Each structure stands twice: as structure tokens, then as C-alpha cells.
Structure 1
């Protein structure tokens, strides 16, 4: 592809979307969006300062306090959600193109996932307008007529990360809009283009002014937005370190939060399951999908001690078979990391793994044949101590650690010995055994013989993997407050 073909086309890159209009920044400052495969600039977008952020929050505040959106019935708001879904699906390839450029996902994987997650999220929540009980008749303890009412939480600040920006925007914004909230979307400076495309759609469908606003900002402005008294709820996806800071800031003023944070997810390969099959399932999907830059990735591979070496070799063979290169090439099976900073982080962790005594069995460096782009080899460590740094901390890159267990109980204890609890998988041919082990794992999602996270049901984690759930009914309820109304009327 030529540089022109790789460029990300945006209608209003020098503006923010605020109060239903495209408005220029107060300073004219911009972020450069890099193509992570070539390191070339693919787009520029406006950079918000405190005044720009204030305008966006004020617009959302007006739209919630005096606009029509919160007063509409859920089925009326659902009409907009269905229109948004239709337009998202029409722009499927544009969203996928931007995701590949910014984050490094293989374009052949991005295209079907965009359609599944974006349109699917808005359609799912549009359907909930008919199935979710926003108002439920009750009988009070005093015998009076009463109602349990679910109402919008208010102005929502949606902070979206760079690894899966479009889908994560959808699963934050769709339920917030159905609930009747107004939203300020704060995308990552590294991956802002999906938010711009989404704002174009909001303009096209005629959302009332201020219902959705988009500003791209750096960390200092983002922190001010989190602390802003006009924001009622923060929904954040990102690192646990950043999540702790956001949670602490929100707690100072008792703002509502949903935090979807990091993970160090275990795959437990039990003694009855084929090692080669497990290795192909774990390795190919982990290395090939976003180069390991996924919070729920299976990064700790826990196997019976007698099978440790066989698993290390099988995973190493998978790693060596990966074709690293341009994510737009259908022959590529693994793309780059998203940023130079992320690659440097992975390199530091690999060096620490070697220093701590783990066996580097495959990968561990930049590929020699790729001189441009943020590429890194798929990497496998064996003989990893579950208490070591590479087994404890989220690396967010293509690095797998194989850990030996004495038996099932030991494997479960190793899996649970983590500050995180986002995802897990149990590999076994026995369904009942899988269910029994799954119930003992401290994780928000547990799959059988594959990672099976499902936003349509609900996604989130235990421990320091976050607070709350996204997707499903719980994802809607995260944007609702409960109100009890008791009338001076005897119950019928």
C-alpha cells in the first residue's frame, strides 16, 4: 500500500465534536497519529486543553440537565441506537483500517470484528429498550403503591484505550445512551480516529446537541476531566495503575466508576488434554490477535510438571511459525506493537525474565528483517516462577510464560495467586471437570478449551482487574441509578 492509501481519512481532524458541532481547538495544537507498521504519520487530530475539555463537559451537562435526551422513553432512544448501528456497519472498513494503522491488528481480523462488536453492541442495547424493566410496580411495606425506577446516572466520561478503541467505545456509549445519559468520549492520543468516525455518525443520525461529545487529550487534561464536578460517572478501560488513580480521584467526590483494568490470565492445561492442540490454540490466537496487546490474553500457561518441557517446545514451535509483517498483508499472521513505548516496555520485561532465571525458549528481540515499525518477535519463556516479575505484571505484548504445577489443586492455587482476575481457560476433555475447576478460579470469565470472553453476557474482572462489568444487562445497569417512589395511594 502507498502512504496515501495507508492514511486515515477524517472529515474534521482539526476539530472536536462538541454540542453537536465541529469546533476548532482553542490553541490549534495537534497530536500526530503514527502508522505502527511504518512509523509514518497517518493523521493529525486536534489536541484538547483544559478550556476545550470544559466546553465538552458543559455541553454534556446542559444536554442532560435541560435537553430532551434523558426525558425520552427508552424505546425512543433505541431508534437512534439502531440508526447508529446501521451507519457503523456501513463504515466497517474505515473503522477496521484505522484500527490496523493505530494498533497493529491484522486487517483480515479487524474487518469481521468491527462488524460484530460495533453494530452488535448498539443493536443489543436497542433491543433492551423492550426487555429491560426501567419501571417496576412494587407494594411498599406500608401497603402503599410504589415503583422501583431506573434512571440515568448523568454525564458520563468515557475514557477509551488504544488497543481496541472502536469496540470499547461501543460497549461504553451504547448502554449509556439507552440509559439516557450524555457522554464525553476521551479517546487515546495514539488511537483517536474511531472516535472521530463515531462522532461523524452521531452528527448524521441527528443526536440532540451535547448528547455525545469527543475530545482527544493528554494525561493532565484527562485527570482534570475525571475530577470535574460536572461528570457524574467515569467509565475507563486501561492499565491497573491508571485505574487506581482514577478510582482514587473519583472517590474524593463519590463519583460513580466502572474500571476495566489489567490482567495476567492463566490457561490451565490439565493432564488429559493434548499439548500440541492446546499450544496451537493458545499461541496462534495470542500472538496473532493484536500481538498480545489484550487485557484478557492468556499469558500464564500452567501445565503438569511432567508436561512442562513439551508445552514449552510446542509453544515455541507456534512462535517460530508466525509470519511477522505488514498487518494489511493477508499472508501475515502477526503484526506490530502499537507504539515505540510499548515495544520498549516489552523489551524491558524480556530482559527481566532472563535476569530472574526463566528460560528464554523462543523470540525475545526485534525481528532482524523489519527495520521500520514497532515489531517484536513472539516470545516464550519456560521454567517461570509464578512469583517472578514476568508472571506477576502485565506485559501487554507477545510474551508467554510456562509454569509447572504438581496437580490440579496446585494449578488452581497458582492461577489464583495474582492481584488480577480477568480471564482464565481450562483445557480438558472432561466438561464436568472443566466446570468444577472453573468455579474455583477467581476470574470474571472462564472458557473451556479456548478463551471465550463474551461482552453480550458481561465482561470484567475480580481483584485489581477492575470494578463493574461491561456488556450485557450489567453493562446497562452501570449507567443507571435506582429510585424508589412511594405514593400516598393504597396498593391495589
Structure 2
């Protein structure tokens, strides 16, 4: 079999392995299948290419254009994922493991594409939070904005997820408008390289947006500056080595780490044998021990059960694990494949021995197990290994040693507070889970343990059919954790995008703030349009375009008719004496929803036109009551515009109601869909 030459993509060129190349063996057979690495890569040229070519091209695009780019990438990868499946088997991964890595990574691209279109503007500046009025009259305002960093995202990834690990970092980076240099772990870099080739060959990405290092990073870190970001996934030892790099510290280079994690799963006191929760707990733990052969940063390492249920948990888990078929991951009957390498297998065995000094192995003998369809001595195979620690309070290794493979330890707890204390002894984890049908149990765990965990996963009979599992980070939610887990966060929707942007406070007049943010703010200049704004198409409307309506007097008959017609006969509208006793009202007042209806009647243009639909209103507030005899009028202003499809876009209108004295009585934001 020929040996693959795994290239790097640097400064626009594919560069084959050279000096310093390392051999890569199949996890199944132990045979050398590839070599990667080139110590002669020009790191400065890569940085220059990213900063000088990739960065400007990405920043020239709006958030929506970048989001569409991510969607196109996801679609292209989805159409070519079989090639990624085919070569991923040699990492030891099964077909179901591929679904986590490859399909999960593609799904992450789609989620960020969707969030970019729905939650971010079709603009180059992201507004972070609301307006701050800094003076009495509103002529001096403050606003936080986020703009792309003018550097590069350096992504150093772990071996266990060669596709997802790359894409979960790449999606928010590109959406922010920042180019990336990806450095995968060498043991599985041939999968990452294939994915990068597929993406680059699509022509979807602008030049310089993505580069790849399949080998060492050389002096790359020493060349980074304050506009760059390092995002790392791997061991705590490596993270600390990188984090303490003097150059990174002196230049305040942003550093995000996701590292070792002794994740715990707690069986609730209510989840006794025979309940759906007990069966769910056993299923979750077994899956987390065997998926990717336990090589997941989110896998369950510590299994916490009430002391009275420890025996039942061990028995049920052992029975389930005994049915797991270990073998050649290409076989359909295989449920757990190999670890990524012989080196990784040796590391897991060494760490399992440390755990074994404090806990008894109750299932899984690494010297005596069956592998189907492969030679277990040549491949990096191990069985699931379950330990029982009878004294979790007196133990240390079970709380600080992560055997990054199919290894987990059962330990008993006396009461829920004890379980929380045990979970916290991991000194910071990516995720803890609680399997319980008792909301009070879930709340106590969150109150007691949330500060030690990046995510708390709660599951029971209600959510079990839709839940994604203890070990599945989702792009919608942050992935990371405090303490031992690295203290960082990734993904989390737009939160992840902002890691690659600079938050800046801007100050100025309403006109300045409106112009910078492409969003009209009260006090900014109002524009008189040539016709009623509802007769004008999406592209014809300008930010700040305003309609001032005529006034309408609100009568007692209006209030009583509205009450009778709608059934809303609340005393403040119908009983003068009762209303007068209310500290908020001078007597009978108009319904708030009556005022909204009158407002619509004052500003709506009734004929067929480019306004296709009213899709809702936001931020409704009533400031001052309207009594019979008052009159109201409306100011309708185009606040913001966001394209949604090729046929229509969303217009956000600022709607303000004032009375005959000019006092504001209500305000809200109206959303309409307008034809292009």
C-alpha cells in the first residue's frame, strides 16, 4: 500500500511533507499509511497571506454574505462527505463515530450560517447591546459595537475530531470576518487535509481565508500580535505550555483553551431501577464510554450514583457493555473501534493504572478481550473499562486523572450535597449531567455545581427522545469550562463569533450613532419620504424615513366599545371609582391595545403594496395613561432593514405615540416583511 503524503496549504500553495515529517499508522492495523509535516514552512508568509489577502477579502463581505458562504461550504462538504467517511476508518472510528465528527461539523456550519442571517445584520458592524443615554437631553449617546479583528485565527486542534474540531472553530471565525490557519493533530491530520481540499477546491472561500499546517507550527506563535487569536483543544499540559508563551503574554494575544475535563454524570436519588431515568442513565454512560472509543473531551469519566444504587449501576452497566462489539470499525456489526494510535493506547493504560490504585476494575480486562475482524495486538484496541471507587472522599487520582479512552469510574454519594461536592472535585469540567425526573434535584445541582461546569445537561423521560446526549456540544450553546477545562468558551452562537471581534464603545450624537450602526436611534435626523412609506419597496426605503400621522381623539365611547367588543372589561377601563383608587391611573383610561389599534389605523396605507406581512412587534412599552378626551398621533420611522430572502426583507419600524401635549404615551418596534 502506498503511503499518503499529507500536505500543508500555505500562502496559496500545497506543500508536500519534507524535513521533519512524521509517519502515521492505521489505528486498525498498525501499518504506516501516511506521513505529514514540513519543518521548512514559512510561517511569516502564511501570516502575511492571511492578514494581507484573506482578511481584507472577508472584511469586505457583510455578515450575511459570510453566512451564505458558510451555508455553501456546508452544502459542498455534505455532497462530498463519503470521501471523508472512507478515510476516517483508519483513525479507529466507526460509521456512527463519523456521524458525530463529519456530519456534526457540517451541521455546525449550517447553524452558524443560520444565526448569521437571523441574528446579525447585513452589515459590517455588529451592535452589541442597546443605546446608553449619556446626557439629559439625549443628544450624546453611547453604543457598543463589534468589528472584525485584523489578524488571523490560529486553530490548534485535537486528534479525536479531525472535521468537527476544525469546523466548530472555523465557522465563527469566518463569520466574524477573520481568516484562519488550522493545525490539526498529526495522528488524524489526513482526514482534516481531505476536508480542507474539498473546501478549497469548491472555490467558495476567498483566497487567504483558510490555510493548513499538517505538522509542527514552528515559530508561528512568536509571530502573532494583538489582532490574532489562538484557539486550542488538547491536553492541559500542552495548553499551559502554549498559554505561557512569553510572546503571547507580552502582546496580549487572545488565547482560548478547551482541555482536560473529568466530566461527571449524576444519577438522581429518584432514578431508581425500574424507572425510565435509571435505564436512560445506563444508556448514556455506556454510549459515552464507547463512542469514539471514549476519546471525547465531553465523555463521562466519573459516574455518581446514590450509595444504595451503586451495585445496581455496576451490574446494569456491565451487562450493557458486555454486548458492545469491539472490532474493525469498517464492519457494520462493530460498535466500538480502536483508539487513534498505539501511543494513545499506551497513555490510556498508564492512566487507567493510576486510577486502578484507588479503584477496583469491575469490568473490562485489557489483557483478555475479543476483537472482531482485526488483530488486537497490531491495532490500538482496548475494551471498555469500568472501575468502582469505594471511597471517593479519600481518593485523588479518580478526580484528577483523565484516561482519554473507554474508561470511567463509578462512585457512590450519600446525599445530593455530597454528589455536588464530588462533581466539583474535578476542578472544572466541560459538562456535568443529571439524570432525574425531579426538578428540585436539577435546580440544586445547578445552584451548587454550575460555577464548576461549562454546561449542565439534564435529561429525563420527557426530553429523552429529543435530547442530543451528555457528550454532544451544540453550536447554539457555549462549549468550554472553567478551571481544569481551560477557562475558555467556543461556539455559543453569536457569542463565539465575538471571540474574533473587538468590542468598542462609541460615543456621539444620535446622527453619528445611527450612521455608524446603520440603525436609526431616537433623536437622529428624520427623513421625509416622497410618498407614504408603505407604498415604497424595501430597496427604496431609507433608514430614518419618517411618517407623522394626523391626531385622533380617544372618547369614552371608544373605550366602552373596545371593552364590549374584545371582552376586556378590566376595571381600569370600566369603573371610574376603582380606577381612581389605582396609583397608576387618574380614573378610567384607554386600553393599551386600543391605542395600538388606533396607531395602526393612523399609519397604515390600506391598499395593496410592497408591505407583505406584519410579523410582530418588539419592546412594547406604555409610558403614560390616555384618558377620554386625549388625542394621540403617531411617528413611524424606518429603524433598520435586514434582507431575508431574494424576494423580501424585514423592515423594523420605530413607532411612537404621543398625546396632545407632546408626551410620549407608548413606543414599540413594528416588524414587516417588504417586497424588494
| TM-score normalised per structure 1 | 0.89
Q: Matches of 1:417 and 1:239 in 2, distance apart?
A: 18
- 2:62 maps to which residue? 73
Q: Matches of 1:173 and 1:475 in 2, distance apart?
A: 10
Kept in 1: contact 2:160–2:295 (CA 8 A)? yes
Q: Which moved more, 1:75-84 or 1:285-294?
A: 75-84
1:176 Cα deviation from its structure 2 partner: 0.5
Considering fraction of residues, name the structure with more helix: 1
Is 1:416 paired with 2:424?
Answer: yes
Is 1:238 paired with 2:259?
Answer: no
Kept in 2: contact 1:36–1:337 (CA 8 A)? yes
Match of 2:114 among 124, 127, 130: 127
Kept in 2: contact 1:304–1:405 (CA 8 A)? yes
Kept in 2: contact 1:14–1:30 (CA 8 A)? no
Residues 460-479 of structure 1 aligned to structure 2 (within 5 Å): 460-471=480-491, 472-479=493-500
- 2:555 maps to which residue? none
Is 1:405 paired with 2:413?
Answer: yes
CA deviations on 1:181-200 (whole Å, 9 max, x unpaired) are: 01111111111123312322
Instruction: Call closer, same or farther: CA 1:23–1:400 in 2, change over 3 Å.
Output: closer
RMSD, matched Cα: 2.5
1:113 Cα deviation from its structure 2 partner: 5.0
Instruction: Call closer, same or farther: CA 1:162–1:258 in 2, change over 3 Å.
Output: same
Instruction: Call closer, same or farther: CA 1:109–1:391 in 2, change over 3 Å.
Output: same
Moved over 6 A (4+): none
1:366 Cα deviation from its structure 2 partner: 4.0
Kept in 2: contact 1:343–1:376 (CA 8 A)? yes
What runs of 5+ residues in structure 1 fail to find an aligned partner?
A: none
- 1:225 maps to which residue? 220
1:215 Cα deviation from its structure 2 partner: 1.0
Q: Matches of 1:243 and 1:291 in 2, distance apart?
A: 23
- 2:140 maps to which residue? 144
Match of 1:380 among 386, 402, 407: 386
- 1:157 maps to which residue? 154
1:204 Cα deviation from its structure 2 partner: 2.0
What runs of 5+ residues in structure 2 fail to find an aligned partner?
A: 371-375, 460-468, 512-522, 525-676
Is 1:355 paired with 2:357?
Answer: yes
Q: Which moved more, 1:172-181 or 1:90-99?
A: 90-99
CA deviations on 1:441-490 (whole Å, 9 max, x unpaired) are: 22111112351642322211122212332222221111111123334676
Q: Which moved more, 1:68-77 or 1:297-306?
A: 68-77
Is 1:48 paired with 2:38?
Answer: yes
- 2:447 maps to which residue? 439
Instruction: Call closer, same or farther: CA 1:409–1:39 in 2, change over 3 Å.
Output: same
Is 1:213 paired with 2:205?
Answer: no
How many residues matched? 475
Q: Matches of 2:53 and 2:133 in 1, distance apart?
A: 34
- Which structure ranks higher in relative contact order (CA pairs < 8 Å, sequence separation ≥ 6)? 1
Kept in 2: contact 1:20–1:208 (CA 8 A)? no
Instruction: Call closer, same or farther: CA 1:353–1:208 in 2, change over 3 Å.
Output: closer
Q: Matches of 1:468 and 1:347 in 2, distance apart?
A: 29
- 1:20 maps to which residue? 12
Instruction: Call closer, same or farther: CA 1:434–1:160 in 2, change over 3 Å.
Output: same
